[in-house]
Each structure stands twice: as C-alpha cells, then as structure tokens.
Amino acid sequence: MGQPRGPACAMSVLRRETRPTHADPVAERQAGAGRGCAMERAAVSRKPNIGIRELKENLSAVVDSAWEHPVSVHRYGSPWVWIVSHEVWTRNTRRIDFNPAGHPLAAVRQHLDMAMRERQPRLHAAALRAMLRIEAQPLLRALAVQLLYGLETEAALHEQISCNLLFRWFVGLSLDQQIWTPQEFGYSLERVLASAELVAILEELLLGAPVAPIAQATGIPLNQALLREWRARSVRGG
C-alpha cells in the first residue's frame, strides 16, 4: 500500500509559506533615506539658531519650527535674519508702532516716572508697609488717570485701562500683558488710598506735572476735590 500524500503536501505548503522573502534593496535605501531626513528635520526643528546652509537644505522644517519658537539664521558666524510666526510678528510690530510721544499724557508720564525714580527708596518702603498685591508705580499712574480724566469710580478706571490703549500704555502695561482682575485692582487701590504716605507721594508726583494741555483738550481740570478727599481718608486710616 502506498503512503498517504496528505501530510507531505501539508508540510510542503508550510515550508513554502515560511520561506524568507528577499527585501528590495532600492526600497530599503529609500526608506532609510526617508527616516534619515525625518530625523534631520526633527533635529533642525529643535534648534533656535541655524546656519544659512541648514536653512537652504531644510527650509520646510525650519518654517514649521518657527511656529513654535523664533529661529535665528546665522551667516558667517553672525546673526543674519529671524524667522518668526505671523502671530509673533503682528504682536510685536503693534507694540513697536504705538508711540504716543506727541500726546500730552506722554509728558505727564515722563514727569511722573522721573519723580518716582527720585523717591524710589521711600516709595518702595511705603509699598511694603501697605502690603500691595500690585506694584505701586502702575497704581499711582492709574490714580493719576482717574484724577486727570474725571473717572468717578474704580470700576470705570479699570474698564478704561482695559480698553483704552493710551491709558494702558500710561499705566505701564504692554499690549499683550493681561490686566489685573477688577477685584485685585480694587483691593490694591484701596490699600494705596489707606496709606497716608502713598497718597502724599501721589500729591508730590502731580506737583508741577504738565497737566494743563490735557485739561484744555478735554475740558476736565485735575480733580483736586477728589485728591483732597483721598488725603483726608488716608489720614483717618481708610
């Protein structure tokens, strides 16, 4: 009797299925090159500074990385150009373009800043005693805005600083800087107005300030009555 052929056929099929296949060397080289390029692009994207040769060879990767952080391109070992995203460019060009040098409030800001520098040790000590949550300088400038422009409430002052680019600049906030919350702002103003020393410094800062052009332009004189009210309240201890 002959041997059954079923198992032998099955073994033959198994051997054929498990026989190793030969990879295409061209495809392997292409895949390896692709992996190498990807790794190179990833390495380039992590660099904040690159040379002009890298820029030419990996322009796409450099542009992609500029969305995450500005990229400095060097030429002959020295900085040449920067590549930045549209958001970074527009935000910073807006800041550069805003220059209120010709506005009367700019002269007042210059006067106040100079007077505050002259009183810096005293101002710093008074701010520490008042336990302010916000620096004293922007708070004093904000109170000057309230006196100069006839703003009746702290809420109105906060809203104007939030929305008015000139007031925002005058107080000392950059365009992309988040303004304080109304609660934080109100608390810190109350601490300033409860300090007789800080109110006295505010009066000194405004002494001799060029406020007349603002009064002429707006028809609103400096609110001396409100300043006297603040002085009396601070002397009483708030």
pTM for the whole thing? 0.61
Where are the domains positioned within the chain? 40-97, 100-235
Q: What is the pLDDT of residues 25-81, one digit of tens each?
A: 555 555 555 555 444 544 544 555 667 677 677 777 777 777 777 777 776 666 667
The amino acid that residue 226 corresponds to is L
CA dist., res. 41 & res. 62, Å (int): 8
CA dist., res. 144 & res. 150, Å (int): 10
The residues that bridge with 83 in the sheet, in sequence order, are: 71
Q: What is the pLDDT of residues 101-113, one digit of tens each?
A: 889 999 999 999 9
**CATH architecture observed for domain 40-97:** 3-Layer(aba) Sandwich (3.40)
Instruction: Look at the block and give the residue holding tokens 């004189």.
Output: 221
**DSSP run (H or E) holding 83:** strand 78-83
